Structure 1
Amino acid sequence: MKVLDLYERASRVPVLGKGAFSLAVALRAPYFLTIAPSLVELEPNRAVVRIRKWWGVHNHLGTVHAIAVANGLEMAMGVLAEATIPTHLRWIPKGMELEYLALSDSTLLATADTDPADWERPGEVRVAVRATREDGTVVVQGTIRLHTSEKKRAETVSASPVAG
Protein backbone atom coordinates (compact mmCIF):
# COMPACT_ATOMS: atom_id res chain seq x y z
CA MET A 1 0.00 0.00 0.00
CA LYS A 2 1.24 3.48 -0.85
CA VAL A 3 2.27 5.99 1.81
CA LEU A 4 -0.44 8.46 0.80
CA ASP A 5 -3.14 5.78 1.12
CA LEU A 6 -1.86 4.82 4.58
CA TYR A 7 -1.77 8.46 5.67
CA GLU A 8 -5.33 9.07 4.46
CA ARG A 9 -6.57 5.98 6.32
CA ALA A 10 -4.75 6.96 9.48
CA SER A 11 -6.08 10.54 9.26
CA ARG A 12 -9.63 9.22 9.54
CA VAL A 13 -8.94 8.02 13.09
CA PRO A 14 -9.63 10.96 15.43
CA VAL A 15 -6.74 12.19 17.60
CA LEU A 16 -4.45 9.15 17.32
CA GLY A 17 -4.39 8.46 13.58
CA LYS A 18 -1.84 11.03 12.44
CA GLY A 19 0.23 10.43 15.57
CA ALA A 20 0.39 6.69 14.90
CA PHE A 21 1.31 7.34 11.27
CA SER A 22 4.04 9.81 12.31
CA LEU A 23 5.45 7.26 14.74
CA ALA A 24 5.45 4.56 12.04
CA VAL A 25 7.39 6.84 9.67
CA ALA A 26 9.87 7.72 12.42
CA LEU A 27 10.39 4.05 13.23
CA ARG A 28 11.35 3.39 9.58
CA ALA A 29 14.16 5.95 10.00
CA PRO A 30 14.79 5.98 13.77
CA TYR A 31 16.82 9.20 13.82
CA PHE A 32 13.50 10.98 13.14
CA LEU A 33 12.35 9.89 16.62
CA THR A 34 14.80 12.39 18.14
CA ILE A 35 12.70 15.31 16.91
CA ALA A 36 9.31 13.93 18.10
CA PRO A 37 7.78 14.65 14.66
CA SER A 38 4.10 14.92 13.80
CA LEU A 39 2.99 14.77 10.20
CA VAL A 40 0.47 17.59 9.82
CA GLU A 41 -0.23 17.45 6.08
CA LEU A 42 0.56 15.08 3.23
CA GLU A 43 -0.54 15.21 -0.37
CA PRO A 44 1.27 14.78 -3.67
CA ASN A 45 3.95 17.49 -3.98
CA ARG A 46 3.50 18.77 -0.40
CA ALA A 47 4.25 17.65 3.14
CA VAL A 48 4.29 19.45 6.47
CA VAL A 49 5.92 18.07 9.64
CA ARG A 50 5.64 19.62 13.11
CA ILE A 51 8.88 19.72 15.13
CA ARG A 52 8.07 20.29 18.78
CA LYS A 53 10.45 22.55 20.73
CA TRP A 54 11.51 20.49 23.74
CA TRP A 55 14.76 20.03 25.67
CA GLY A 56 15.76 16.97 23.59
CA VAL A 57 16.26 19.13 20.48
CA HIS A 58 17.77 22.19 22.18
CA ASN A 59 21.20 23.55 21.37
CA HIS A 60 23.37 25.56 23.78
CA LEU A 61 21.10 28.61 23.26
CA GLY A 62 17.91 26.77 24.18
CA THR A 63 16.60 26.95 20.61
CA VAL A 64 15.90 24.05 18.23
CA HIS A 65 19.24 22.69 17.04
CA ALA A 66 20.06 23.16 13.34
CA ILE A 67 20.40 19.42 12.76
CA ALA A 68 17.00 18.78 14.39
CA VAL A 69 15.51 21.28 11.93
CA ALA A 70 17.32 19.53 9.06
CA ASN A 71 15.91 16.17 10.24
CA GLY A 72 12.38 17.60 10.15
CA LEU A 73 12.93 18.97 6.66
CA GLU A 74 14.32 15.61 5.54
CA MET A 75 11.29 13.79 6.96
CA ALA A 76 8.94 16.18 5.13
CA MET A 77 10.90 15.62 1.91
CA GLY A 78 10.86 11.84 2.36
CA VAL A 79 7.13 11.47 2.87
CA LEU A 80 6.49 13.93 0.03
CA ALA A 81 8.71 11.82 -2.26
CA GLU A 82 6.95 8.59 -1.26
CA ALA A 83 3.52 10.18 -1.76
CA THR A 84 4.42 11.72 -5.11
CA ILE A 85 6.87 9.59 -7.07
CA PRO A 86 5.42 7.58 -9.97
CA THR A 87 5.39 3.83 -9.34
CA HIS A 88 8.02 3.12 -12.03
CA LEU A 89 10.61 5.41 -10.38
CA ARG A 90 12.69 5.28 -7.20
CA TRP A 91 14.50 8.08 -5.37
CA ILE A 92 17.52 8.71 -3.20
CA PRO A 93 18.74 11.96 -1.60
CA LYS A 94 21.61 13.56 -3.48
CA GLY A 95 22.33 16.71 -1.53
CA MET A 96 20.97 19.37 0.78
CA GLU A 97 21.58 23.11 0.82
CA LEU A 98 20.12 25.04 3.74
CA GLU A 99 20.24 28.65 4.89
CA TYR A 100 19.71 29.40 8.56
CA LEU A 101 17.90 32.72 8.70
CA ALA A 102 16.63 33.18 12.27
CA LEU A 103 16.58 31.55 15.69
CA SER A 104 14.30 28.52 15.98
CA ASP A 105 12.83 29.53 19.33
CA SER A 106 9.41 27.87 19.05
CA THR A 107 7.79 24.74 17.72
CA LEU A 108 8.37 24.64 13.95
CA LEU A 109 6.57 23.55 10.81
CA ALA A 110 8.91 21.89 8.30
CA THR A 111 7.43 22.11 4.81
CA ALA A 112 8.50 20.41 1.58
CA ASP A 113 7.08 21.28 -1.85
CA THR A 114 7.63 20.18 -5.44
CA ASP A 115 6.05 20.86 -8.79
CA PRO A 116 4.18 17.96 -10.47
CA ALA A 117 6.34 18.38 -13.59
CA ASP A 118 9.45 17.57 -11.50
CA TRP A 119 8.40 13.91 -11.37
CA GLU A 120 7.64 13.32 -15.06
CA ARG A 121 10.96 11.66 -15.95
CA PRO A 122 14.04 10.27 -14.22
CA GLY A 123 16.71 12.75 -13.19
CA GLU A 124 17.08 15.38 -10.51
CA VAL A 125 14.17 16.59 -8.42
CA ARG A 126 14.69 19.74 -6.38
CA VAL A 127 12.50 19.76 -3.28
CA ALA A 128 11.97 23.24 -1.82
CA VAL A 129 12.05 23.11 1.99
CA ARG A 130 11.51 25.64 4.72
CA ALA A 131 11.00 25.67 8.48
CA THR A 132 8.70 28.27 9.98
CA ARG A 133 8.27 29.42 13.59
CA GLU A 134 4.86 29.77 15.21
CA ASP A 135 4.96 33.53 14.50
CA GLY A 136 5.35 32.85 10.74
CA THR A 137 9.06 33.68 10.53
CA VAL A 138 11.00 31.43 8.16
CA VAL A 139 14.00 30.19 10.15
CA VAL A 140 15.51 27.80 7.60
CA GLN A 141 15.03 27.52 3.85
CA GLY A 142 16.71 25.59 1.11
CA THR A 143 16.62 22.69 -1.29
CA ILE A 144 17.00 18.96 -0.96
CA ARG A 145 18.06 17.39 -4.25
CA LEU A 146 16.90 13.89 -5.13
CA HIS A 147 18.10 11.55 -7.83
CA THR A 148 15.27 9.59 -9.43
CA SER A 149 15.75 6.60 -11.68
CA GLU A 150 13.77 3.77 -13.24
CA LYS A 151 13.20 0.80 -10.96
CA LYS A 152 15.05 -2.30 -12.06
CA ARG A 153 12.88 -5.09 -13.34
CA ALA A 154 12.71 -8.07 -11.05
CA GLU A 155 14.94 -10.70 -12.44
CA THR A 156 13.42 -14.08 -12.78
CA VAL A 157 15.40 -16.88 -11.31
CA SER A 158 14.76 -20.25 -12.81
CA ALA A 159 15.19 -23.23 -10.60
CA SER A 160 17.32 -25.95 -12.10
CA PRO A 161 17.53 -29.48 -10.87
CA VAL A 162 20.74 -30.30 -9.04
CA ALA A 163 22.52 -33.40 -10.22
CA GLY A 164 23.26 -35.76 -7.40
Structure 2
Amino acid sequence: MASSPGTRLLSLWRRLSALPGGEWLFAKIFARTVPYSGSVRPRIKVLEPGHAEVEIPDIRANRQHLGSVHAIALMNVAEMASGLAMMAGLPENIRGIVTTLSMTYHKKARGTIRAVSRVTVPTVTADQDFEVIAECFDPSGTKVATGKVLWRLGPAR
Protein backbone atom coordinates (compact mmCIF):
# COMPACT_ATOMS: atom_id res chain seq x y z
CA MET A 1 0.00 0.00 0.00
CA ALA A 2 1.27 3.50 -0.83
CA SER A 3 2.13 5.75 2.09
CA SER A 4 -0.18 8.60 3.03
CA PRO A 5 0.73 12.27 2.48
CA GLY A 6 1.12 12.69 6.25
CA THR A 7 3.45 9.70 6.49
CA ARG A 8 5.55 10.98 3.58
CA LEU A 9 5.78 14.49 5.07
CA LEU A 10 6.75 13.13 8.49
CA SER A 11 9.43 10.91 6.97
CA LEU A 12 10.84 13.80 4.94
CA TRP A 13 10.76 16.08 8.02
CA ARG A 14 12.68 13.55 10.08
CA ARG A 15 15.35 13.25 7.39
CA LEU A 16 15.75 16.98 6.72
CA SER A 17 15.11 18.80 10.01
CA ALA A 18 18.34 17.63 11.64
CA LEU A 19 20.47 18.86 8.73
CA PRO A 20 21.87 22.38 8.39
CA GLY A 21 19.30 24.26 6.29
CA GLY A 22 16.95 21.29 6.53
CA GLU A 23 14.02 23.25 7.98
CA TRP A 24 14.38 25.80 5.17
CA LEU A 25 14.48 23.06 2.53
CA PHE A 26 11.49 21.29 4.07
CA ALA A 27 9.54 24.59 4.02
CA LYS A 28 10.32 24.99 0.31
CA ILE A 29 9.16 21.44 -0.45
CA PHE A 30 6.02 21.90 1.65
CA ALA A 31 5.21 25.20 -0.12
CA ARG A 32 5.60 23.51 -3.49
CA THR A 33 3.42 20.58 -2.42
CA VAL A 34 0.69 22.81 -0.94
CA PRO A 35 0.94 25.99 -3.05
CA TYR A 36 -1.75 28.07 -1.33
CA SER A 37 -0.39 27.36 2.13
CA GLY A 38 3.07 28.15 0.81
CA SER A 39 1.89 31.68 -0.03
CA VAL A 40 2.31 32.76 3.64
CA ARG A 41 5.91 31.45 3.73
CA PRO A 42 5.45 28.92 6.51
CA ARG A 43 8.31 27.43 8.48
CA ILE A 44 7.57 24.15 10.20
CA LYS A 45 9.34 24.20 13.57
CA VAL A 46 7.93 21.00 15.13
CA LEU A 47 6.36 18.01 13.39
CA GLU A 48 5.54 14.77 15.10
CA PRO A 49 2.40 12.64 15.30
CA GLY A 50 -0.15 14.70 17.23
CA HIS A 51 1.95 17.87 17.48
CA ALA A 52 2.91 20.56 15.01
CA GLU A 53 4.21 24.11 15.28
CA VAL A 54 4.30 26.33 12.23
CA GLU A 55 5.54 29.92 11.97
CA ILE A 56 4.72 32.63 9.46
CA PRO A 57 6.70 35.85 9.17
CA ASP A 58 5.29 39.32 9.69
CA ILE A 59 5.97 40.50 6.14
CA ARG A 60 4.04 42.90 3.94
CA ALA A 61 2.47 40.04 1.95
CA ASN A 62 0.93 38.61 5.16
CA ARG A 63 -0.44 41.95 6.43
CA GLN A 64 -3.70 43.75 5.98
CA HIS A 65 -4.16 47.51 5.53
CA LEU A 66 -4.02 48.22 9.31
CA GLY A 67 -0.49 46.85 9.61
CA SER A 68 -1.12 43.61 11.47
CA VAL A 69 -1.05 40.01 10.23
CA HIS A 70 -4.10 39.35 8.06
CA ALA A 71 -6.96 37.27 9.47
CA ILE A 72 -6.77 34.78 6.61
CA ALA A 73 -3.00 34.37 7.01
CA LEU A 74 -3.72 33.45 10.64
CA MET A 75 -6.42 31.00 9.55
CA ASN A 76 -4.04 29.53 6.97
CA VAL A 77 -1.28 28.85 9.51
CA ALA A 78 -3.79 27.44 12.03
CA GLU A 79 -5.17 25.04 9.41
CA MET A 80 -1.63 23.97 8.49
CA ALA A 81 -0.69 23.25 12.10
CA SER A 82 -3.89 21.29 12.72
CA GLY A 83 -3.46 19.25 9.55
CA LEU A 84 0.21 18.50 10.05
CA ALA A 85 -0.32 17.43 13.67
CA MET A 86 -3.21 15.15 12.79
CA MET A 87 -2.12 13.78 9.42
CA ALA A 88 1.35 12.88 10.74
CA GLY A 89 -0.35 10.59 13.25
CA LEU A 90 -2.90 8.91 11.01
CA PRO A 91 -2.31 5.40 9.70
CA GLU A 92 -1.58 5.10 6.00
CA ASN A 93 -5.06 3.80 5.16
CA ILE A 94 -6.88 6.87 6.59
CA ARG A 95 -7.43 10.13 4.74
CA GLY A 96 -8.67 13.50 5.94
CA ILE A 97 -10.17 16.65 4.46
CA VAL A 98 -11.21 19.94 6.07
CA THR A 99 -14.96 20.53 6.12
CA THR A 100 -15.23 23.56 8.44
CA LEU A 101 -12.87 26.29 9.61
CA SER A 102 -13.62 28.82 12.31
CA MET A 103 -11.37 31.36 13.94
CA THR A 104 -11.57 33.52 17.02
CA TYR A 105 -9.34 36.59 16.97
CA HIS A 106 -8.20 37.72 20.42
CA LYS A 107 -5.96 40.69 19.57
CA LYS A 108 -3.95 42.25 16.74
CA ALA A 109 -1.30 39.87 15.47
CA ARG A 110 2.12 41.42 15.03
CA GLY A 111 5.52 39.86 14.58
CA THR A 112 6.29 36.26 13.65
CA ILE A 113 3.22 34.15 14.44
CA ARG A 114 3.54 30.59 15.72
CA ALA A 115 0.55 28.24 15.36
CA VAL A 116 0.61 25.31 17.75
CA SER A 117 -1.61 22.24 17.51
CA ARG A 118 -1.61 19.23 19.81
CA VAL A 119 -4.08 16.45 19.19
CA THR A 120 -4.71 12.90 20.26
CA VAL A 121 -5.22 11.27 16.89
CA PRO A 122 -8.37 9.15 16.97
CA THR A 123 -8.77 5.56 15.89
CA VAL A 124 -10.72 5.73 12.66
CA THR A 125 -12.73 2.77 11.37
CA ALA A 126 -15.46 4.62 9.46
CA ASP A 127 -16.08 8.17 8.25
CA GLN A 128 -16.18 10.59 11.16
CA ASP A 129 -15.80 14.27 11.94
CA PHE A 130 -12.97 15.29 14.25
CA GLU A 131 -12.20 18.77 15.58
CA VAL A 132 -8.62 19.96 15.96
CA ILE A 133 -7.62 23.19 17.71
CA ALA A 134 -4.66 25.35 16.70
CA GLU A 135 -3.64 28.37 18.75
CA CYS A 136 -1.68 31.28 17.28
CA PHE A 137 0.85 33.18 19.39
CA ASP A 138 2.85 36.36 18.84
CA PRO A 139 6.57 36.61 19.70
CA SER A 140 5.79 37.49 23.35
CA GLY A 141 3.76 34.29 23.74
CA THR A 142 0.41 36.11 23.78
CA LYS A 143 -2.42 34.17 22.14
CA VAL A 144 -3.71 36.24 19.22
CA ALA A 145 -6.12 33.74 17.64
CA THR A 146 -7.62 30.28 18.07
CA GLY A 147 -8.60 28.15 15.10
CA LYS A 148 -11.03 25.26 15.14
CA VAL A 149 -10.69 22.93 12.20
CA LEU A 150 -13.24 20.20 11.56
CA TRP A 151 -11.73 17.31 9.66
CA ARG A 152 -13.68 14.51 7.94
CA LEU A 153 -11.62 11.38 8.49
CA GLY A 154 -12.24 8.01 6.94
CA PRO A 155 -10.74 4.98 5.24
CA ALA A 156 -8.98 5.77 1.97
CA ARG A 157 -11.06 4.80 -1.02
TM-score w.r.t. structure 1 length?
0.86
Matched, 1:29 2:29: no
Q: How many residues align?
A: 150
What is the aligned counterpart of 2:10 among 4, 8, 30?
4
Structure 2: distance between partners of 1:57 and 1:3? 25
What is the aligned counterpart of 1:70 among 63, 71, 75?
75
Q: Deviations over 1:108-149 (max 9, x none)?
A: 101122113x24444122111110001111011131010011
Q: Which residue is 1:83 aligned to?
A: 88
Matched, 1:126 2:137: no
Structure 2: distance between partners of 1:26 and 1:98? 23
Which has the higher relative contact order, 1 or 2, with Cα contacts under 8 A spaced 6 or more apart? 2
Larger displacement relative to structure 2 (99-108 or 121-130): 121-130
Alpha-carbon shift at residue 71 of structure 1 (Å): 0.9
* Amino acid aligned to 1:3: L
Q: Which residue is 2:46 aligned to?
A: 41
Cα contact 1:10–1:20 (8 A) shared by 2: yes
Cα contact 1:114–1:126 (8 A) shared by 2: no
Larger displacement relative to structure 2 (81-90 or 47-56): 81-90
Matched, 1:17 2:22: yes
Q: Which residue is 1:155 aligned to?
A: none
Structure 1: distance between partners of 2:16 and 2:83? 18
* Amino acid aligned to 1:109: R
3-state SS of 2:19 partner:
coil
Report percent identity of matched pairs.
Answer: 28
The correspondence of residues 76-155 of structure 1 with structure 2, limited to 5 A, is 76-116=81-121, 118-122=122-126, 123-152=128-157
Alpha-carbon spacing, 1:139–1:119, altered in 2? closer, same or farther (3 Å): farther
* Larger-Rg structure: 1
Cα contact 2:94–2:124 (8 A) shared by 1: no
Structure 1: distance between partners of 2:57 and 2:118? 21
Alpha-carbon spacing, 1:21–1:64, altered in 2? closer, same or farther (3 Å): same
Structure 2: distance between partners of 1:22 and 1:80? 16
Unmatched tracts of structure 1, length 5 or more: 153-164
